Structure 1
């Protein structure tokens, strides 16, 4: 349980936090560390980011926040998310996200900063942040869906399917769940067959021409989460979510 890193020409980083892969603050930092380690290894030519269990990622561990007095847990989670998303984005080699089941909140942050996304046919993507009294990862959702749909999803918390994202071209391939990891590896193998120096420079150059600074944009969003928490709105929404479950 936790974050597993399997090193090699194709490195695999696997998230495993039962029951729903809602990561505690330390888990986000562990994920960032694993991605840094994979990217720093000169043998690595591509990274597959996958998960075990019922879904790819349910976001942050709200229970951790609610059992911790004061703002420390919220701040730790937000810094952890920022670190993990940045580690995907800044990884010197392409990162292929293999998404199955639910991809919520922080999961969208990971998928939206990945270079490529391969998804299972049961995968859904959503930002339930407004219902949780928080904001964030619209920066990353905007890399997956058109602008007006992104706004609709933020305001209503409605999900979209992997097939919808495939029509937009932001999910490369939709496959049966049993073949998801293999499909992600097939893409990784195509990348790994290229000249590794060229691929690393390609990743750097593509990040350099991005129209939006995703790290700064996400931290701007997080500022409104801090504001909502100071008013007590965030805490009430998180508690209501736990009680309704």
Structure 2
């Protein structure tokens, strides 16, 4: 349980997230993930990082139990927002390309991670979405906008619906869609092809591509987070969460894309499996 890094193949580091039951990360988990990705990128022997997850889904966001026990200084809220920002930035700013291997649900904070990766390989059952408005939160539209066109992003955001891996593949943001059992192999195949290039040139290429990005991803996300704080401090976030209920599974029928469904979202959100949330 936690975040681990393995380097079983030359030039490739696999960073794996394992926070059962739904990979809704505690504050410390987000910072641990950021540290692991940055360390892998700094390793001169690494030319590509694969970001993967154990269990039912890729990522369901933050652990709401910490937020439910927050203090008057909003330490948990501030920690979750800072941790997510650091993890997302670590993926985007990693010195080498990052391949996200996405299985099952990729919600809230999961979209932040996948949206900042250089390439995505997804399982056929993968779904992507931001159930923030159903959880009394905001955020990660910056990253969803990297996966789908602007108007689709807005419709998905306002409705809290999800998009399938096949849909994202059609939009060009998912490199390949494979059966769930084949996901690790498919992600490593792409990583091997990338890692076969010259290491120094790959790092220059990553810096160059980030440099011509039309959106300052870190600044854009931080702008969104200001509204998350406003929702939290004004009480509207808690009011929305108070009316939330259900027992569905993230990304499935009755999940965050279905009205009244349970699941995991992004930062201050509704309760999900095992009392955990998911979004930022």
**TM-score, length-scaled by structure 1:** 0.97
- Structure 1 distance, partners of 2:53, 2:135, is 23
Alpha-carbon distance, 1:57 to partner: 0.3
1:30-80 deviations in Å (ceiling 9; x for gaps): 000000110111000100000000000001111210122231101100000
Aligned residue in 2 for 1:130 = 133
In 2, the alpha carbon distance for the partners of 1:61 and 1:159 equals 20
Matching of residues 48-67 of structure 1 within 5 Å: 48-67=50-69
* Map 1:27-66 → 2, pairs under 5 A: 27-66=29-68
Query: What SS does the aligned partner of 1:160 have?
Result: strand
Report matched runs for 1:228-243 at 5 Å: 228-241=231-244
Q: Quick one: distance in 1 between partners of 2:57 and 2:140?
A: 18
How far is 1:85 from its partner? Answer: 0.4
Which structure has more RCO (C-alpha within 8 Å, separation ≥ 6)?
2
Equivalent position of 1:6 in the other structure: 6
Give the conservation status (yes or no) of the 8 Å contact 1:124–1:160.
yes
Which SS does the other structure have where 2:95 is aligned? coil
CA offset digits 1:132-152 (Å, max 9, x no partner): 111110000000000000000
List, as ranges, runs of 4+ consecutive aligned residues in structure 1 with deviation greater than 6 Å.
none
1:6 positional shift: 1.1
1:6 counterpart SS class: strand
Provide, for residues 160-186 of structure 1, a one-character-per-residue CA deviation record: whole Å limited to 9, x for no partner.
000000001100000000010110000
TM-score (structure 2 length as normaliser): 0.85
Shift of 1:235: 2.1
Q: CA RMSD in A?
A: 1.2
Task: Tell me by how many angstroms 1:190 deviates.
Answer: 0.3
Structure whose residues are more often helix by fraction: 1
Unpaired stretches in structure 1, ≥5 consecutive residues: none
| Alpha-carbon distance in 1 for matches of 2:237, 2:207 | 37
Change (3 A) 1:77 1:242: farther
Distance 1:242 1:13 in 2: 33
**What is the DSSP-based 3-state SS (H/G/I as helix, E as strand, rest coil) of the residue aligned with 1:212?**
coil
Kindly state the Cα deviation for residue 243 of structure 1 after the two structures are TM-superposed: 7.3
